[in-house]
């Protein structure tokens, strides 16, 4: 196989410049996406490295080899910094210069400074190290479900591995013999891979930034901004999806919570305190319901929860903990004696056969009963109660957390 290596270098340099400018243009559309600026800088820096590399034979080796490789290592370090910035971790500028420092030490201070094999191995190791660190940073943020993370991780890992092969294959980045390169097709092949990699990774990183924007827009549309839990739309979508994917015959409990005298709290203490009370309740309920249940701010001072596959006694115990925990946490808010409490309406379907709207209606009727019977209590819709009926067993929490039947 024969490819003109000089042409490949020239093409790679122009590609790096265009991709760098493209990433900067994308960053200019939204300056909050600072990772794009880091990645754009990395591509432009790599273009400078290739330009310096192209001076081999017409410029001193200290420029065409030593300096060009130092700039190359810096470009991969900037890509790593961008990956940290992407997931809101601080870019480590000092660590970004470690590769350059190692290279300078090898070139100027090491007893192996005149050994092309050692220099090639060190240089390949630096590039592979920063490339794998970039893959690791992207992998660390996998809790944010972005599909484009995985091809980015794969490509970065593979590119780092291929770079390590340059030294043993005699194709170190610092060696550019003049004349025909027919003796080793690996030189051209690895150089071609570098061009394809730089194009692919730039577009994948752009795709990651775009996917994150869309993901956060979707999440914001389904999340209550004050409490951080699902809003009504998000709850209904999650609940319907959970019921479709789960065993329809398993028991299901629906809980409706309404903060007692919440308007009075806003009137007496102000909306800032009222907002804090809502956040306290959301935090308390979320901690007790756990990951297996769904919690949502239904609107205003009302919240709804769905607990699938949970025994009735356990649901009642969960409500007790929520009511007791909230009463304790909201007794004093910002040094103000708020003494907020919550009323709860509960419906339990032993076989989960009823539709969610019917369960919500029954829970709402039970909540109305809890409010009318004195508040700060749990009212449970009777088993087998038809939608539209209003039978309940109200239960009230004592200050010690025990449950007392209310008359």
* Banded model confidence at residue 188, pLDDT cuts 50, 70, 90: low
**Of all residues in the chain, what percent carry a pLDDT higher than 90?**
60
Alpha-carbon gap, residue 370 to 372, rounded angstroms: 6
**pLDDT in the model for residue 175:** 43
Question: Angle at CA 194, nearest 5°, toward 191 and 195?
Answer: 95
Predicted TM-score (pTM) of the model is 0.70
248-252, 280-284, 336-340, range with the lowest pLDDT? 248-252
**pLDDT in the model for residue 200:** 94
Strand 332-333 relative to strand 302-308: parallel, antiparallel, unpaired? unpaired
**pLDDT in the model for residue 391:** 38
Among residues 148, 192, 180, 219, the alpha carbon closest in space to that of 15 is found at 192
- Which residue has 């891979």 as its token pair? 193
Question: Angle at CA 8, nearest 5°, toward 163 and 73?
Answer: 40
pLDDT tens-digit series, residues 6-42: 777 788 899 999 999 999 999 999 999 999 999 999 9
Question: Phi then psi for 33, rounded to 5 degrees?
Answer: -85, 70
User: Which of 38-47, 98-107, 173-182 tops mean pLDDT?
Assistant: 38-47
Strand 342-349 relative to strand 377-380: parallel, antiparallel, unpaired? parallel
Domains of the chain, earliest start first: 5-221 (1.20.1070), 232-405 (3.30.70.270)
Alpha-carbon gap, residue 131 to 115, rounded angstroms: 24
Compute the average pLDDT of residues 367-376. Answer: 93
Is residue 406 pLDDT above 70, yes or no? no
Question: Encoding tokens for residue 221?
Answer: 């549309």
Q: Determine contact, residues 254/367, Cβ cutoff 8 Å.
A: no
Question: Encoding tokens for residue 150?
Answer: 């995985």
Residues 6+ apart with CB under 8 A from 159: 131, 193, 197, 201
Q: Where are the beta strands (DSSP E) in 198-276?
A: 252-259
**pLDDT in the model for residue 81:** 97
Is residue 319 pLDDT above 80, yes or no? yes
* Banded model confidence at residue 251, pLDDT cuts 50, 70, 90: confident
26-40, 93-107, 144-158, 375-389, range with the lowest pLDDT? 375-389
Compute the average pLDDT of residues 186-214. Answer: 86
* Banded model confidence at residue 402, pLDDT cuts 50, 70, 90: very low
Alpha-carbon gap, residue 54 to 61, rounded angstroms: 11
**pLDDT in the model for residue 141:** 93
């Amino acid at each position: 196989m024969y490819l003109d290596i000089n042409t490949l270098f020239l093409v790679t340099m122009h590609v790096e410049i265009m991709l760098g400018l493209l990433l900067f243009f994308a960053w200019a559309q939204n300056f909050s996406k600072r990772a794009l600026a880091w990645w754009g800088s990395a591509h432009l820096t790599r273009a400078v490295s290739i330009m310096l590399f192209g001076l081999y034979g017409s410029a001193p080796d200290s420029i065409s080899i030593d300096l060009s490789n130092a700039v190359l290592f810096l470009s991969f370090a900037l890509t790593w910094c961008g990956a940290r910035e992407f997931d809101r971790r601080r870019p480590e500028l000092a660590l970004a210069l470690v590769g350059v420092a190692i290279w300078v030490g090898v070139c100027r201070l090491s007893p192996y400074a005149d050994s092309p094999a050692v220099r090639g191995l060190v240089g390949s190791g630096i590039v592979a190290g920063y490339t794998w660190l970039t893959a690791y940073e992207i992998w660390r943020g996998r809790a944010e479900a972005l599909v484009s993370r995985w091809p980015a991780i794969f490509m970065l890992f593979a590119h780092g591995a291929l770079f390590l092969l340059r030294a043993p294959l005699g194709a170190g980045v610092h060696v550019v013999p003049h004349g025909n390169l027919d003796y080793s097709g690996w030189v051209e092949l690895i150089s071609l891979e570098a061009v394809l990699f730089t194009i692919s990774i730039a577009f994948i990183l752009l795709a990651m930034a775009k996917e994150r924007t869309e993901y956060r827009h979707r999440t914001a549309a389904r999340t209550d901004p004050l409490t951080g839990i699902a809003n009504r739309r998000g709850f209904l979508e999650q609940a319907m999806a959970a019921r479709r994917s789960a065993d329809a015959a398993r028991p299901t409990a629906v809980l409706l919570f309404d903060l007692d005298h919440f308007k009075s709290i806003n009137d007496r203490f102000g909306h800032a305190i009222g907002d804090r009370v809502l956040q306290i309740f959301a935090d308390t309920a979320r901690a007790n319901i756990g990951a297996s249940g769904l919690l949502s701010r239904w609107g205003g001072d009302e919240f709804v929860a769905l607990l699938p596959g949970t025994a009735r006694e356990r649901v009642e115990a969960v409500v007790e903990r929520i009511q007791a925990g909230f009463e304790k946490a909201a007794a004093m808010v910002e040094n103000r004696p708020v003494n907020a409490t919550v009323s709860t309406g509960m419906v339990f379907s032993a076989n989960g056969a009823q539709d969610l709207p019917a369960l919500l209606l029954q829970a709402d009727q039970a909540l109305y009963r809890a409010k009318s019977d004195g508040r700060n209590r749990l009212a449970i819709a009777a088993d087998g109660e038809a939608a539209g009926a209003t039978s309940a067993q109200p239960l009230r929490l004592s200050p010690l957390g025990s449950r007392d039947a209310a008359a």
